[in-house]
Amino acid sequence: MNGRLGKRLRAVAAAVTTGVVLVAAPVLAQTPDQEAEQIKARQRISTMEGVLERAVSNGAENLLRQVRSVMPDAPMLSGAPKVRGFRLDGYGVFFDVEVPALRLPITWPLRYVIQDDTAAVNAALNELRQIVAQQLPRERDRFELLARRLELRASIPQATPRTGDPMVVAPDEAYTKAVREALIDAMIENSGPIPLGPDEWLTLAARDNVPRDPLIPGDVAGLNTLTFKVKGSDLADFRAGRLSLEAVRARVEVRQD
């Protein structure tokens, strides 16, 4: 009986060993050159991830710099951009871009001062008074001071009205535009090291990294995604000088979901 059991165990061991060899064979069959090429491909994508992260940061900083030039208390970002890329066989290369949300300061009602709109200033004063009532005692003095400054500003005639400033009237739209333009230029100008076939696509999906909070009034962060696609043949024509940067920009497909 022990002999028969030993034979069965040896048979099972042989089968398991064979299975391991069969599963491992494709990995062992990979040549050093193939392995090195895979590593290089991953490094190229990693480099592009960093490029796109910097593009988002630069686009946001350009906008915030302009806002700070007209308002002392500028919006802030909810964090840092994050990008993850990978290759899809038969399609091309895809990058998932997490864009930090734009957070407006609690003193944003002061934006109406920039617009020199007396009616809007009065509405902002009421809004600010309501905010004051909700603050802790140690914060009330600061907001009362802001309200008094706003009242004083509203009482002074303005010689050069500035209305319709998109950075002040619609900061979220201006922010989206700045990030969109920065990402499109980055994917065109810096994607050269990433190999793409003529019929393959370089795709970016950009989305806010903070979901909408229903408990925060005026929170406009959402789950909308902007998708950018450009064909490998168009990128090749740009690098060869057959297409201008402006022409390739026009060929980038943009979709909002």
pLDDT at 5 over 50: no
pLDDT at 57 over 90: yes
| pLDDT 10s digits, 173-224 | 888 999 999 999 999 999 999 989 999 999 999 998 765 555 555 555 445 7
Enter the pTM of the model: 0.65
Exposure pattern of 171-207 as b/e (b: 16+ CB <10 Å)? beebbbebbbebbbbbbbebbeebebeeebbbbbbbb
Q: What Cα–Cα distance (Å) separates residue 91 from each residue in 184, 196, 203, 232? A: 19, 9, 10, 10
pLDDT at 156 over 80: no
Tell me the three state secondary structure of residue 65: helix
| pLDDT 10s digits, 92-141 | 999 999 999 888 776 665 555 545 556 666 666 676 667 666 665 666 66
Q: Per-domain residue ranges for the chain?
A: 37-105+166-256, 117-155
pLDDT at 158 over 80: no
At residue 7 the predicted structure's pLDDT band, cuts being 50, 70 and 90, is very low
Q: What percent of the chain has pLDDT over 90?
A: 37
Helix H or strand E encompassing 18: helix 2-28
Mean pLDDT, residues 20-24: 39
What value does the mean pLDDT of the chain take?
A: 75
Q: What is the pLDDT of residue 184?
A: 96
